[in-house]
Amino acid sequence: MDRFLELFKVIKEYSKDYVLENTGLKVLALLITSVIWLSVASRPVSRVTIRDVPIELRNLSISPKLTISKYDTLSANVFLTGSVDALDAIRTSELIIYADFENVEPGVRVIPLQIDASRLPSGVRDQGVEPRSIRVTVEHEVVREVQVKPRFDGEPPEGFEIISQQIEPANIRIQGAASLVRDITEVSTETVSLNDRREPFSLQVAIDITSPNVSISDKDQIKVQLTVNIGEVRRERVFDRVPVTLINASPTAQALPKFVRVTVFGARSAVEAMKPEDITVEVDVSGDEGRLEPRGRVSDDYANRVEIRAIEPKTIRIR
């Protein structure tokens, strides 16, 4: 018993010294802790509105693939509460509002909007979104092949014209909601200016789908190669009396008629400069003295700029 009383006395003295030793420092530490706690506890809680946060569309069916063709909005306002410092540090890009389309069938649907709370900083709480839901039209996505046509602005200078044009590839595949894609029969390139163009040119141009909800199926095929052949304005000219030359015919053979009417077409300056002797019309008899088809050609000086369009009559009789 004496040993127990002695141990109790020692513990009592130690506790007394521990509590009373450096009392001033301990009181100061307590005051500092209290001030910090009161500062944090008294910090005002604020409320903010983050506007135009994009809405993420989740769990749209992939097979068969569904897409959104119509919608009221694809952004929403978020209401948050928390300390001023925490709210000031929030960035719009860090917030996620989503609409869950799991098991949704095609048709007009009203989908609730939700905030991804896991993306909110500590001490910040969401107080809802506006609107609370979005009204959308869900459709099956389809793919369709359409023709690409060039879009031009202006015209070549006077005396020049477009002789031919080519787009490679001539067709592309587009994809989107069935109701949107079925109305598209062709798409255009971006605008290409023809002002001051006097010579052929070729360039890559982007494709303009026109509908923001329709896209190009092949993401690498966003441009096409456009080749435009521009040259001098062309015209027709008729030569009335071009002689017919017989080939492989007997010396006494004669062509009936002896002269034909030839229509040529080409660059205006070349056509206007031609003479009847620049045109040759031949008939190859080769043992057949019935009605034969005449063949024509122009001289080498004009061969690259002028072509023969017609020879009349279309057959020659050999006598």
> DSSP alpha helices (H): ranges in the chain?
2-20, 23-41, 84-88, 178-181, 268-273
- pLDDT over threshold 80, residue 35: no
Nearest to 307, CA basis, from 316, 299, 298: 298
- pLDDT over threshold 90, residue 41: no
Whole-number pLDDT of residue 37: 46
Q: 142-232 architecture in CATH?
A: Beta Complex (2.170)
Distances (CA, A) of 187 to 107, 147, 150, 209, 292: 27, 6, 9, 6, 48
The rounded distance, in Å, linking the Cα atoms of 148 and 187 is 5
Exposed (0-12), middle (13-18) or buried (19+): which is 14, by Cβ within 10 Å? exposed
- Which string of b and e fits 58-72 if b means at least 16 CB within 10 Å? eebbeeeebbbbebe
Residues in the chain: 319
The rounded distance, in Å, linking the Cα atoms of 60 and 83 is 36
- pLDDT over threshold 60, residue 76: yes
CATH topology of domain 234-318: RNA Polymerase Alpha Subunit; Chain A, domain 2 (2.170.120)
Cα 216 to the center of its chain, rounded Å: 6
- pLDDT over threshold 70, residue 43: no
Q: What is the pLDDT of residues 160-184, one digit of tens each?
A: 999 999 999 999 999 999 999 998 9
Q: What is the pLDDT of residues 268-300, one digit of tens each?
A: 999 999 999 999 999 998 866 567 999 999 999
Q: Using pLDDT thresholds of 50, 70 and 90, give the confidence band for residue 89.
A: confident
Q: Taking the domains of the chain in order of start, what are their residue ranges?
A: 2-34, 45-140, 142-232, 234-318
- pLDDT over threshold 90, residue 151: yes
Whole-number pLDDT of residue 194: 97
Average pLDDT over residues 123-145: 93
pTM of the model: 0.65
Q: 45-140 architecture in CATH?
A: Beta Complex (2.170)
Whole-number pLDDT of residue 40: 47
Q: Which residues 6+ apart lie within 8 Å of 250 measured at CB?
A: 285
